[in-house]
Structure 1
Amino acid sequence: MKLSSKMKLSSKKFSGFVLAALLSLSLIPACLAQAADDEQQARLAEIKQRIESLQQELNQVKGERDQLLKDLEANEKDISELLQRIDKIKSDMQSRGEKLQELKQEEKQLEESRRSMQRRVEQEVAAAYRLGRQEQIKLLLNQQDPQHIARQLRYHDYFLKQRSRVIDDYVSTLDQLSTVSAGIQREQDTLAHERNQLEEKRSALVSAQKSRQRTLDKLARQLASKSGELDQLQGDRSRLQRLVDEVGRAIASLINPSDQTPFSKQRGRMQWPAQGRRANAFGQPRANGITWTGVTIRAGEGEAVQAIHRGRVVFSDYLRGQGMLIILDHGDGYMSLYGHNQSLTRAIGEWVERGDTIARIGNTGGMSQPGLYFEIRRDGKPQDPTAWCRG
């Protein structure tokens, strides 16, 4: 018996040990996943820092033209931020306008209830006045059958309670009406404040746009000669290539999801990132041996720019010559680039799905009219977008 008890005790201890070991093993994947995620975040932070250092180097002012380009960048960043702020204010105003209409409808219903309840309260008060203040004593002094008196007292008590409920409901409705009316006043005050803010931002936007145009006019005079235009095109291409190369090296160690559809499998199946007329063809000459390494899509200012495939944002900022630029990494060395945007809606490190809005069409980077500059690259080398996007 003693041996059997010891064996049972040992068995329980062993079972407990096995359970603890299994629990520990079940936690290992979660711990590893967390560690891997932390490492990815650290790498993304490092990438962001390396890109910022590269941008500072690329944006160094070396002459009058560089200073003008730097001024243009400041102008266009201000305009982008103002447009985003204006959109936010408009969205808030729309939400508040809808809430205000709901409150006014609620106020109307409560006012109707108040008038109806007021009539009932007036009737109850009149009935109470007619009966007088000693109803129960009158009933008791009335020489009638005790059972009849008891019934009358119960009715009387019911009517008193009913009258009390009517008055309580009326008071509650008045309180609700007061709360809703105060809410309407707050929403109206906030809307008035937002309208003022909107006008201020619009005025600031007009001023920033005029400043941008003055800078563009000065640049145009600087680039009047073919050599000036060629220098700028070469500089723009060099900056973009250095950025792409640096990003490519930086993201080489990042891990992409194993369940992601390979970019190469989508050749000829993807949608264009924006709807509009294609202003140039891939490989088409530009100036003195420089050819187009992407496609410019003419589209309306503010229209959505959509991701062509699932990917991670690896650049989202202003780049001289490209304006507001966003770059997606799709894995296996493939990247897609979207330039000259009005504003960017995604930040470095974010994952986006095919069709997600990542930016808004604009004319930053010195463009004369709104449009999207779009490139696809593999291992840093430009690919013909028409081979990848249909239509």
Structure 2
Amino acid sequence: MKLLVIVFSALLALPAIAQSEQEQQERLREIKERIETLQEELNQVRSERDQLLKDLESNERDISELHKRIDKIKNDMRSRTDKLQELKKEQQQLEESRRSMQRRVEQEVAAAYRLGRQEQVKLLLNQQDPQHIARQLRYHEYFLQERSRVIDDYLETLADLDTVSTSIRRERDTLDTERRQLEERQRQLVNARQSRQATLDKLAAQLADKSGELKRLQGDRNRLQRLVDEVGRAIAALVNPEDQKPFAKQRGHMQWPVKGRRANAFGQRRSNGITWKGITIRAGEGTPVHAIHRGRVVFSDYLRGQGMLMILDHGDGYMSLYAHNQSLTRSLGEWVERGETIARVGNSGGLDYSGVYFEIRHRGKPQDPTVWCRG
């Protein structure tokens, strides 16, 4: 996949850009060339370790995609189960109506049989008063109309029952198919996780010494910084909606993207000498990750070292980053509201635990998240 080209292809197609179509296309061609060059550099395989990292990326992309498919199947199954329950309830109500109507029809049929086929003739022969005869004929006409209505309603109820029964069979068949699909996806997920673990074991053997680990962390940091810088330059021409609340005014009033234990502090020095530019929040795998402020998705893909990464642009040079996700639920160019789910907690990017690495940046420079988020 063209990792970054897709990002800006989508963004530059948005109507919010104050440029003519021709200018947009020209800018798009320039950005594509620049990003393609950057992508080739970021993904270049220079050693066996780089190849292992590409294998890890492939493993984790598969896992992320499987999780999304499993979630979709589960959501579909919940919807179909609810619909099936509604159909069963409707079937029960129709069956009760059918039994009640059947008794009415039986009574009408019995009455018609007793009167025979010449009801109106008998009424005429058995009466002498013309006014009485007229009343009896009108009454008899109403009686026949009511009998016809009862029979028509009964037939309509039988047809509705047949339709509902067919729908129930169809929903049950679809549910059975979805259950089989879910079982297959879950088996594939187990295999993908086993493959990921095997790749991680090989990487761990290569990174046993501290110098190798330091080199990896520095490479991950440089890769993320280059991406952020390139994104910042590329989206500079994008225009935010007039009703967008300034990010800076929300300082100290935003919620954390996920509830959990913070594994480090901003600016804390690690054992290898590198300092933290963000905060890792430990949380259960699959926990929803929420946007801290309204923003536009400017990156939603895999980045080596960060795993499944989501970047939101909040305007005025502010961005928020959410890394190591299990899966991403929003796509490039989409607007998301504060508190909206944008991802699921995971351990992609080679983590050995589940959590979200969270950063806030202003014009590319990391900010202390504790100053912006409360609690």
Does TM, scored on the shorter chain, surpass 0.5? yes
Return the offset for 1:164.
Answer: 0.7
Cα distance in 1, alignment partners of residues 94 and 31 from structure 2: 56
Unpaired runs of 5+ in structure 1? 1-32
Letter in 1 for 2:161: L
Partner of 2:270, secondary structure, is strand
1:36 pairs, out of 7, 15, 18, with 18
- Within a 5 Å distance, the mapping from 1:283-302 to structure 2 comes to 283-302=267-286
1:198 corresponds in structure 2 to 182
Letter in 1 for 2:18: A
Cα distance in 1, alignment partners of residues 27 and 283 from structure 2: 32
Return the offset for 1:52.
Answer: 5.7
- Within a 5 Å distance, the mapping from 1:365-380 to structure 2 comes to 365-380=349-364
- Within a 5 Å distance, the mapping from 1:128-147 to structure 2 comes to 128-142=112-126, 144-147=128-131
1:250 corresponds in structure 2 to 234
1:361 corresponds in structure 2 to 345
Cα distance in 2, alignment partners of residues 249 and 61 from structure 1: 26
Partner of 1:169, secondary structure, is helix
Letter in 2 for 1:166: V
Q: Report the CA distance shift for 1:136/1:389 in structure 2 as closer, same or farther (over 3 A).
A: same
Q: Report the CA distance shift for 1:92/1:143 in structure 2 as closer, same or farther (over 3 A).
A: closer
Cα distance in 2, alignment partners of residues 44 and 140 from structure 1: 95
Partner of 1:302, secondary structure, is coil
| Residue pair 1:327, 1:336 contacting (<8 A) in 2 also | yes
Return the offset for 1:75.
Answer: 0.5
Q: Report the CA distance shift for 1:140/1:348 in structure 2 as closer, same or farther (over 3 A).
A: same
Cα distance in 1, alignment partners of residues 344 and 31 from structure 2: 22
Cα distance in 2, alignment partners of residues 43 and 264 from structure 1: 33
1:277 aligns with 2:261: yes
Cα distance in 1, alignment partners of residues 16 and 347 from structure 2: 41
| Residue pair 1:280, 1:296 contacting (<8 A) in 2 also | yes
1:80 corresponds in structure 2 to 64
Letter in 2 for 1:57: E
1:311 aligns with 2:295: yes
Partner of 1:358, secondary structure, is strand
1:107 aligns with 2:91: yes
Return the offset for 1:257.
Answer: 2.8
Deviations 1:180-200 (A, max 9, x none): 000100000000000000001
| Residue pair 2:328, 2:342 contacting (<8 A) in 1 also | yes
Cα distance in 1, alignment partners of residues 25 and 343 from structure 2: 25
Return the offset for 1:251.
Answer: 1.3
Return the offset for 1:41.
Answer: 7.7
**TM-score of the aligned structures, taking structure 2 as reference length:** 0.91
Q: Which moved more, 1:197-206 or 1:303-312?
A: 303-312
1:264 corresponds in structure 2 to 248
**TM-score of the aligned structures, taking structure 1 as reference length:** 0.87
Deviations 1:9-53 (A, max 9, x none): xxxxxxxxxxxxxxxxxxxxxxxx888387698699669845465
Return the offset for 1:231.
Answer: 1.3
Unpaired runs of 5+ in structure 2? 1-14
Partner of 1:213, secondary structure, is helix
| Residue pair 2:228, 2:364 contacting (<8 A) in 1 also | yes
Q: Which moved more, 1:247-256 or 1:216-225?
A: 247-256
Return the offset for 1:149.
Answer: 1.6
Return the offset for 1:266.
Answer: 2.1
Q: Which moved more, 1:248-257 or 1:119-128?
A: 248-257
Higher relative contact order, structure no. (Cα contacts within 8 Å, ≥ 6 residues apart): 2
Cα distance in 1, alignment partners of residues 172 and 55 from structure 2: 40
> Root-mean-square deviation (CA), in Å?
2.1
Partner of 2:109, secondary structure, is helix
1:341 pairs, out of 325, 329, 339, with 325
- Within a 5 Å distance, the mapping from 1:138-217 to structure 2 comes to 138-142=122-126, 144-217=128-201
Q: Which moved more, 1:185-194 or 1:308-317?
A: 308-317
| Residue pair 1:296, 1:371 contacting (<8 A) in 2 also | yes
Cα distance in 1, alignment partners of residues 276 and 157 from structure 2: 70
| Residue pair 1:47, 1:247 contacting (<8 A) in 2 also | no
Q: Report the CA distance shift for 1:207/1:157 in structure 2 as closer, same or farther (over 3 A).
A: same
Letter in 2 for 1:36: A
Aligned identity (percent) is 75
1:19 corresponds in structure 2 to none
What is the number of equivalent residue pairs in this alignment? 359
Cα distance in 2, alignment partners of residues 85 and 305 from structure 1: 18
Q: Report the CA distance shift for 1:371/1:52 in structure 2 as closer, same or farther (over 3 A).
A: farther
1:326 pairs, out of 307, 310, 315, with 310
Q: Which moved more, 1:300-309 or 1:187-196?
A: 300-309
Letter in 2 for 1:221: A
2:54 corresponds in structure 1 to 70
1:239 corresponds in structure 2 to 223
Deviations 1:336-372 (A, max 9, x none): 1110011111122112222121111110000001000
1:57 corresponds in structure 2 to 41
**Per residue, is there more helix in 1 or in 2?**
1
Return the offset for 1:140.
Answer: 2.4
Partner of 1:377, secondary structure, is strand
- Which has the higher Rg, Structure 1 or Structure 2? 1
Q: Which moved more, 1:120-129 or 1:325-334?
A: 325-334
| Residue pair 2:206, 2:212 contacting (<8 A) in 1 also | yes
Q: Report the CA distance shift for 1:52/1:303 in structure 2 as closer, same or farther (over 3 A).
A: farther
Letter in 2 for 1:124: E
